[in-house]
Amino acid sequence: MNKKKKLLIGSTIVVLLLSMISVSVYREVYAKGPSVKLVEAKEDSISAFLMVPGTVALEEEQAVYLSPERGALKEILVEEGQSIAKGTAIARFENAQLQLEEEQNALSLESNEMKIAQLEEQISNLKDQEQTLEGAPVPDPAASAQIAAQISQLEMELKVAELERRQAELQKESIENRTAELEIKSTIDGTVLLVNENVSLQGTSAGSPIVLIGKMDGLVAKGLLSEYDTLKVSTGQKVTLRSDAVPDQSWPGEVIKVGTLPESQGAMAGSQAVQYPIIVKLSGQNPILKPGFQVIMEIETEQKTAIVLPDTALVDEGDSQYVFVVENGVAHKRKVKTGIMSGSKVEILEGIKVEDKVVATPPEKLEDGMEVAVK
């Protein structure tokens, strides 16, 4: 065998070896498909959540404002930071007009009493004269009739005077009640959070109180719900609150009120946007959150047990969603119907059953009927 022939045979062997290696690689990479990680479909607890922005506020508070009807502020009787009990005097006002009415009422009552006493004395004297005439030896009908007419007239005046006295007494009660209202008392047990004697009467329209009392151990979060969201939310539902100001913390709470009447309306894109108030009570002690903090209320609107998968297992194609179920080393593409999502979990309503082996994160080149290698 000559040298050229040997070279030809060697070249042919190399080509055959390369071809065999290429076929082997092709079968490994393309015929069998990629390596994938599987996850077993199983039933698990899953919840649906509604995110609602809110503001932290005091559950119980009392604010005292200036008002022209009440009069001028005389003195504030508490200090910031002071703990007070229900019924404690907070502030006193004075009202010059009310004082004038009180003096006029006192004069009116005194005048009524004098008039009534005078009329009663006159009637008593006339009745004595009437008895004297009745006991006289010679009756005097004309004098008796005149005295009777005078008594009748005075009794009528006495009734009018007594009505005027009763009216003055009612007026006195009203003045006393209004005077008592000049001393403002606490309606709750709490802490004095604000004392501001420099608030002007004109500033009250902006809602600036002169005294603010609240319970710091009773915080709530208040927000607004759309018409649609009110159908999902009810009292007793669990809530998790988070604040951008404290990103690494969360606080538990519970829905305690969902308004039955809308709180505000506004025009949006030509339609009426109706919003309903919601109040969430924070559980336990919350030393970080303060009234006015902005929070997100994560309301658990539904909780159930269902077949769940990680959301990475889903493949979106237009309006449809699919997963790959592996059976005997072959990936089968299946259309699924999904339900609620919670974090990285998604509910599967139709398309797979419990214990199905599903590709956890399908690679882009994975196709229906392709063999796969399980990691």
Rounded Cα gap, residues 331 and 270, in angstroms: 51
Rounded Cα gap, residues 351 and 371, in angstroms: 21
Extended strands (E) in 59-123: 61-64, 72-76, 83-84, 89-94
Whether domain 51-60+218-303 has CATH 2.60.120.620: the reply is no
- Mean pLDDT for 162-178 is 96
Res 203: pLDDT: 44
Closest CA to 39 of 338, 346, 267: 346
Pairing of strands 42-58, 294-310: antiparallel
Pairing of strands 246-258, 271-282: antiparallel
- CATH entry, 96-181, from 1.20.120, 1.10.1660, 1.10.3470, 2.20.25: 1.20.120
Per the listing, tokens 């790959």 go with: 324
Average pLDDT, the chain: 87
- Mean pLDDT for 300-312 is 92
Res 29: pLDDT: 47
Q: Which residues pair with 261 in a beta bridge?
A: none
Quick: pLDDT tens for 209-258: 899 999 877 899 999 999 999 999 999 999 999 999 888 899 999 999 99
Quick: pLDDT tens for 176-211: 999 999 999 999 999 999 998 777 554 444 568 899
Quick: pLDDT tens for 71-98: 889 999 999 999 999 999 999 999 999 9
C-alpha torsion sign, points 63, 64, 65, 70: positive
User: What ranges do the domains of the chain cover?
Assistant: 51-60+218-303, 61-67+78-90+185-217, 96-181
- Mean pLDDT for 103-125 is 96
